[in-house]
A and B are shown apart, each in its own frame.
Chain A
Amino acid sequence: AQTVTQSQPEMSVQEAETVTLSCTYDTSENNYYLFWYKQPPSRQMILVIRQEAYKQQNATENRFSVNFQKAAKSFSLKISDSQLGDTAMYFCAFEYGQNFVFGPGTRLSVLP
């Protein structure tokens, strides 16, 4: 069974600084998808970024980028120039087949 681990339950960062959220996963599969989702307080879960495992190039979306290390089964999220609106719960997620697994989440607070 696939598992997803996020070792940082809570993190904080100063506005305009850079922060990296960690995610590791366990799978025996070779082709799969990885995601970072953001869930602001009392608001909707939205996709931040996604990575196909067969692509070596790390995905980027504006201020968000990932460091995907397939051999190490690591998928960290870097947020540059942090903004107050980035305050949220961040979930790392894994998909293979119909199996979609979320990590336990990291609560990120961006401080003014």
Chain B
Amino acid sequence: DTEVTQTPKHLVMGMTNKKSLKCEQHMGHRAMYWYKQKAKKPPELMFVYSYEKLSINESVPSRFSPECPNSSLLNLHLHALQPEDSALYLCASSQETGSQGTQYFGPGTRLLVL
């Protein structure tokens, strides 16, 4: 099973709302990732978790707060977002970080901030 699931599929939120994106994988992978993808652009790495510890934060604003409750779950908490944060948010997982290869992507959450 090479499936990464993400919920919700679509999310509309106001700039004062607090919401969370969820990602789950059951492949036994120990690395999980959040990406942001704008239309017609490649994904941009936001965060990397390795063995449930945050290992990379690509200078993401604090209104995005990741959380890794266990090895299968990855959340992205959203608060006080701006309209320019509207994008497709992709979660991915891989066996390990560090040149271990393939990342498997979820279908994404399409976020619209009003």
Contact = CB atoms under 8 A, between A and B. Distances in A.
Given A44-B106, A103-B42, A104-B41, 16 more contacts: A33-B101, A46-B105, A47-B104, A50-B101, A50-B102, A52-B101, A91-B43, A95-B101, A97-B97, A97-B98, A98-B55, A98-B97, A100-B33, A100-B45, A102-B43, A105-B42
- List the 9 closest pairs (A to B, CB-CB), nearest first: A102-B42, A45-B105, A44-B107, A98-B97, A33-B101, A97-B98, A91-B42, A105-B42, A98-B56
Interface residues of B, number: 22
Contacts of A95: 99, 101
Interface of A: 31-33, 35, 37, 43-47, 50, 52, 89, 91, 95-98, 100, 102-105, 107
Contacts, number: 48
Interface of B: 33, 40-43, 45, 48, 50, 55-56, 90, 97-99, 101-108
A103 B41 CA distance: 9
Contact of A32 (B41, B99, B108): B99
A89 B99 CA distance: 24
